[in-house]
Amino acid sequence: MAQLSYREAVSAAISQEMRLDDRVVFIGEDVAAAGGVFKTTEGLQAEFGPVRVRDTPIAEQAILGAAMGAAMTGLRPVAEIMFSDFFAVCWDIVVNQIAKTRFMSAGQCSFPLVIRSANGGGARFGAQHSQSVENWAMAVPGLKVVAPSSPADVKGLLAASIRDPDPVLFFEQKSLYGTKGEVPDGECVEPLGKAKVLREGSDVTIVGLAAMVPKALKAAEILQDKHGISATVIDVRSLVPLDTTTIFESVSATGRLVTVEENPRLCGWGAEVSSLVAEELFWDLEGPIVRVTTPHIPLPSADALEDAVLPSVDRIVENVVRLAD
């Protein structure tokens, strides 16, 4: 096992797949010699050269148009959109072209394409550079949606995304880039569409994604130590495909569900999970489903205000305690 940061795991995954498959190419703004604005791709151009690792103009539509064409003609491109907020600039290509052309061509065109992006808040970048937009992508048929919480999952899930025959939107939570963890040596691949149970408990199931996962784990410790409440913590990891089996099995056992999501409250991914649980497990529930979310507001840039609106450990604990009463 190696100790890698979340950002180093990005480079480890891409380099692993580029060594194994000459068809893998990487493009984006300042991703080559500069190593990316978040330093997630340092060393890639030095190892693989300027043909396979290319800088692009500041033009999100051009980046994804080129990546789409590359995928259609036999390559396996990885494209970076610097901030996930900028998907708004090129959303037509994602939604109406990349997500639909395989279907509309009756399978004649394949799209082994990964679009990476820095997502979410916590880094004080303000309303236009801090949005958590994975729920945008989740609503579009034809896209797979992945959001890892740990360095090991970054490497394993990004490798699986690059190998996948369908387009994958890979959201990297920018406040996690500096976090470190053990990452398996050698070839590492994690299956898409498989949630991970990180902690077993008997009283409540807490379901989180990306930066909300470490907060959920910390909340579970406090709930056990201070309140005697035993919580299962599940890292969703992949929104599409969604591992409902793991979630259902846990909620059926605990009888209570709390989702923790960085999305604004209206139409967040937790609403879909809550709806599915309510439909399938209504008679197993011992209380209402609770969603801990960001309010439906643009994210502030001021430290205190951003911290106040993002889901916190204290807010998770408070909601679980209220549910368990």
Q: How far apart are CA 240 and CA 228, in angstroms?
A: 34
Closest by CA to 190, choosing from 211, 168, 221, 222, is 168
**Which residue is catalytic, options 52, 129, 215, 256?**
129
User: What does the buried/exposed string (b/e) look like for 187-205 if buried means 16 or more CB atoms within 10 Å of the residue's CB?
Assistant: ebbbebbebbebbebebbb
Under DSSP, is residue 103 helix (H, G, I), strand (E, B) or coil? helix
Q: How far apart are CA 315 and CA 312, in angstroms?
A: 5
Q: What is the DSSP string of 153-200?
A: HHHHHHHHHHH-SS-EEEEEEGGGTT-EEEE-SS-----TT--EEEE-
Contact 232, 204 (CB under 8 A): yes
227 catalytic per annotation = no
Phi, psi of 116 (to 5 degrees): -90, 150
- Interaxial angle between packed helices 269-281 and 244-254, expressed in degrees from 0 to 180 and rounded to the nearest 10: 60
Residues classed as catalytic: 129
